[in-house]
């Protein structure tokens, strides 16, 4: 019986202690979710943005410029095979092979044309040789005819006048025919030279075209221009060029060999926030691939012209952040998280943004744990907290959210209301002045 009473007492005691500890923890957690203390110290205004790593400098691996070859029509090239991204290569190592099919067919057509032209030239040379040889034989025979007519004419001087006249006519006719034959030979010779020259011109043009195709196809085997790590190139739509991808003649980069000793983080900042950025601002960078590592850097470049990214309506500006130091674990295209420190203020009072409330009168107030509705003058803010220029002291415990029965809280700091209204009036005047200046422009 006594043992039962003792055991029961121990169980009750343990249960009581457990409930007491749980209640304390629960109350503490519940209190921390309702109240917070006003902080004092360093305050940062920062912009956060995701981005990706890229090398500050790199060597481009470029497909051959087909369009600069005379007689070769420029068209898209296709990557037949390509080395895996991230492969480390040495100068001269194989990178990619381009699809030769279409250009091989064109080369075969040109080679067939070249063979036909060679045949045509040989036939023209043979025809010319035969034609000119025949004409020379005719001229030689006509020379003999002229000689015979001359002999006949000389022997007819003792003949009657009609016979002499007939001999003269025969001789003159033979001489004229000889002259015509010689002129025909000269003309045929000139025609043959022109024909052969035209064929040779076509032949040379076709030979150059065949040579151009052979040189172009020789460059379809792409090799590394320098040592490095192969990183696939992204086109304007963000698609990586790899096996099966098409290459536009106006944008012939296949891949890059980045210099990993100097890395940049490329981010896009909205047009609303871009005016806050300046070159040289400090940046804290983390990389998704190495969450336990943190890097520092500075704003290195800010674009002057905005652009629209695919599937977005708002304009953004490209910004490059240069990382301090060197870490060869970092690779291009890794995802980064960038915290750009826009402004830093020391020894200021600040509270979470959700602690500041405005009513129908649009006057900012906070509610303290001791039942005070305190008017405050807020200053600059970041995405989590806001600076309180006047109205609060460090260590004051305030509500995180609007308390129950806020009308029962006592109003304090009414002397700040006039300052708040005066500041708003000045801001309105400045805004109107800016609008006027813009309208004049």
70 within some domain:
no
Are residues 213 and 116 part of one domain?
yes
Can you give the pLDDT at residue 236?
A: 78
Can you give the pLDDT at residue 68?
A: 66
236 within some domain:
no
| Domain end call among 177, 200, 218 | 218
Q: Are 85 and 230 in contact (CB under 8 A)?
A: yes
Helix count and strand count (H, E) for the chain: 4, 23
| Domain end call among 218, 236, 259 | 218
Can you give the pLDDT at residue 27?
A: 40
Q: What is the DSSP string of 386-426?
A: EEEEES--TT-EEESSPPSSGGGSEEE-THHHHHHHHHHHH
Give the domain CATH number at 174: 1.10.287
302 within some domain:
no
291 within some domain:
no
CA–CA dist 31, 432 (Å, integer): 46
Domain that holds residue 366: 33-41+346-440
- Closest to 213 (Cα-Cα) out of 421, 66, 413: 66
Can you give the pLDDT at residue 366?
A: 95
390 within some domain:
yes
Q: Are 277 and 320 in contact (CB under 8 A)?
A: no
Residue 326 has what DSSP assignment? -
CA–CA dist 430, 69 (Å, integer): 62
| Domain end call among 155, 184, 218 | 218
Can you give the pLDDT at residue 133?
A: 93
Are residues 111 and 37 part of one domain?
no
- SS3 per residue for 335-361: EEEEEEEEEEEEEEEEEEHHHCEECCC
374 within some domain:
yes
Can you give the pLDDT at residue 32?
A: 62
> What's the total number of domains in the chain?
2
409 within some domain:
yes
Q: pLDDT averaged over consecutive 10-residue blocks of the chain (441 residues)? A: 52 50 44 85 93 92 78 79 91 92 88 93 92 92 92 88 90 92 93 94 92 86 91 85 88 90 93 91 95 94 88 88 92 92 93 91 92 94 92 94 91 91 78 50 42
Can you give the pLDDT at residue 26?
A: 41
Are residues 112 and 37 part of one domain?
no
Are residues 205 and 123 part of one domain?
yes
Q: Are 375 and 421 in contact (CB under 8 A)?
A: no
Residue 233 three-state SS:
coil
372 within some domain:
yes
Residues with Cβ within 8 Å of 372's Cβ and at least 6 positions away in sequence, in order, are: 409, 410, 412
Give the domain CATH number at 382: 2.40.420.20
């Amino acid at each position: 019986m006594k043992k039962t009473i003792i055991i029961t007492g121990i169980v009750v005691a343990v249960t009581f202690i457990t409930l007491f500890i749980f209640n304390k923890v629960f109350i503490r957690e519940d209190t921390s979710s309702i109240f917070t203390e006003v902080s004092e110290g360093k305050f940062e205004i920062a912009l956060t943005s995701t981005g990706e790593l890229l090398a500050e400098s790199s060597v481009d691996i470029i497909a051959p410029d087909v369009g600069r070859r005379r007689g070769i029509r420029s068209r898209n090239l296709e990557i037949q095979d390509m080395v895996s991204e991230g492969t480390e290569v040495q100068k001269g190592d194989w990178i990619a092979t381009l699809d030769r099919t279409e250009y091989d067919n064109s080369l075969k057509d040109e080679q067939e044309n070249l063979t036909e032209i060679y045949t045509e030239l040989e036939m023209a040379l043979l025809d010319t040789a035969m034609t000119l040889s025949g004409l020379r034989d005719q001229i030689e025979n006509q020379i003999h005819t002229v000689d015979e007519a001359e002999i006949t004419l000389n022997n007819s001087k003792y003949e009657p006048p009609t016979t002499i006249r007939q001999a003269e006519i025969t001789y003159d006719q033979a001489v004229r025919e000889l002259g015509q034959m010689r002129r025909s030979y000269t003309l045929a010779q000139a025609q043959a030279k022109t024909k052969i020259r035209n064929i040779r011109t076509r032949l040379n043009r076709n030979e150059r075209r065949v040579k151009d195709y052979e040189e172009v196809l020789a460059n379809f085997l792409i090799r590394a221009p320098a040592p490095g790590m192969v990183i696939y190139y992204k086109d304007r739509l963000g698609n990586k060029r790899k096996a099966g991808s098409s290459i536009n003649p106006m944008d012939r980069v296949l891949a890059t060999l980045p210099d990993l000793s100097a890395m940049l983080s490329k981010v896009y900042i909205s047009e609303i926030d871009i005016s806050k950025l300046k070159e040289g601002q400090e940046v804290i960078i983390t990389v998704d691939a190495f969450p336990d590592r943190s890097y520092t850097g500075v704003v290195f470049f800010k674009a002057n012209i905005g652009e629209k990214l695919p599937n977005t309506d708002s304009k953004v500006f490209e910004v490059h952040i240069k990382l301090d130091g060197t870490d060869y674990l970092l690779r291009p295209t890794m995802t980064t998280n960038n915290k750009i420190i826009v402004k830093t203020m020391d020894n200021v009072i600040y509270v979470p943004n959700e602690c500041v409330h405005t009513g129908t009168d649009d006057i900012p107030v906070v509610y303290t744990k001791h039942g005070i509705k305190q008017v405050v003058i807020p200053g600059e803010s970041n995405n989590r907290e806001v600076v309180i220029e006047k109205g609060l002291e460090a260590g004051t415990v305030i509500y995180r959210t609007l308390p129950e029965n806020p009308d029962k809280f006592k109003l304090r700091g009414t002397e700040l209301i006039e300052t708040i209204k005066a500041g708003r009036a000045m801001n309105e005047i400045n805004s109107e002045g800016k609008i006027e200046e813009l309208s004049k422009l």
